[in-house]
Chain A
């Protein structure tokens, strides 16, 4: 091969150019196939080769890293112990107040038609490896298809939503964290009940977008899943700063993830919930239709309630349970 300058390209340079072009073609193919099919099989195959080594190294390394962490923190442990005793006493007092408040919240949620993410069937898994670069927002867990895990399921820890299952093999799975730009979650702001979409930015706070919201969001507002894809009521994070809708249309705000994503070790995968089943259940529970004359019809599976424009209501038995 002779370039325009007349100097011959050496073999390594030709190979280099060929490999860069090959990489470009592979990347284009992967993007076009939306990381499905052949590339998924390749990823699963490669990961299954690496898994035993990663698990082995993790088994050895985790206690050592924990020990080093413990040694480095030993000076502050006594002070922390005293502080924690004080906090425990305060927490016990708060717990009594919280129990009373929880009862009130449950009643209010029932009144407002909100659902709470409890009694979910989960599988506990341990994280044994993470991504290969600073730009990867994935973790590998030691549970897979054999444990009932399928792609798309929500992953949570004691603090809130961690991410979603992304790739599954028989004994292992990959989870994509909520900070990943490819992850978007339908959410609801607890205080206002307004819905929006939270998406990752690769690192740090998440981005909340709400379209035509009727109210602002305020610093410290709790953001939970809205039940569109993940079970409703899972804590996603807290609003970082008070924000208003821009020109009355889109509201953008930063949300700090509730889960401490850099420290997660054990996670729970919500296996007993499907958005399709939940939607069907929801449809059976309550469907409200507004007609052109302004009257509304609400069907809850067992009865149909019609509210006329003058405020009068009529109720009839539904087909389901008659």
Chain B
């Protein structure tokens, strides 16, 4: 396992945060009023390329960054993306089996991530569960992530290919 892959993944997370807050920000592109969850997407998609331990750490770091740039309670996205990273690591072989499986995993884990966050933030007193349009905010990012998953995976394969052959197991 190359450390450069972990660093590249972390860089990808930072780029996704910048894109999420600008390109897909409030005045940017928001199809049907909700943007994709890009950081969740990248955390899921790097699963085949890095070891589980590094992947879980990457999920936690990505979550902390999202928390720090966002407005919610610190640690909520960290917990959420740690869980998503761990789950996607466990599903990496299935993800590599077929594009349909990958799409299903991206959609399912994004929905799971949004739901875990809603649950966590409600437990920590933010009353997110009572927000209007909650279902839209849970399912639409998952749908956009599903659409973006294929070009993003193609890009990641190209980025990771020159450094090492084969996917992590």
Contacts and interface: CB of A to CB of B under 8 A. Distances in A.
Most chain A C-beta atoms within 10 Å of own C-beta, residue among B18, B23, B68, B69: B69
Contact of A127 (B27, B51, B121): B27
Interface in A157-184: 166, 174, 176, 180-182
B145 interface: no
A84 interface: no
A47 B71 CA distance: 11
B48 interface: no
Interface string A32-61: 000100010011001100100110011001
A2 B126 CA distance: 36
Most chain A C-beta atoms within 10 Å of own C-beta, residue among B22, B30, B126: B22
Contacts of B127: 181, 202
B153 to A, nearest CB: 22
B128 A26 contact: no
Q: Please classify how large the interface on chain A is, using the bins under 10, 10 to 19, 20 to 34, 35 or more.
A: 35 or more
B86 interface: yes
Interface string A1-38: 00000000001110110011011111111110001000
B74 A166 contact: no
A5 B33 CA distance: 47
Given A131-B21, A201-B132, A15 B53 contact: yes
Interface of B: 14, 17-23, 25-30, 33-35, 37, 39, 51-53, 56-57, 59-60, 63-66, 68-79, 82-83, 86, 89, 114, 117-118, 120-121, 124-128, 130-133, 137, 140-141
Given A16-B82, A54-B22, A132-B39, 4 more contacts: A19-B60, A132-B70, A134-B114, A262-B30
19 contacts: A12-B89, A16-B82, A20-B82, A23-B78, A24-B79, A26-B75, A30-B73, A30-B74, A35-B74, A43-B68, A54-B21, A54-B22, A57-B23, A65-B29, A127-B26, A133-B72, A176-B71, A181-B128, A265-B27
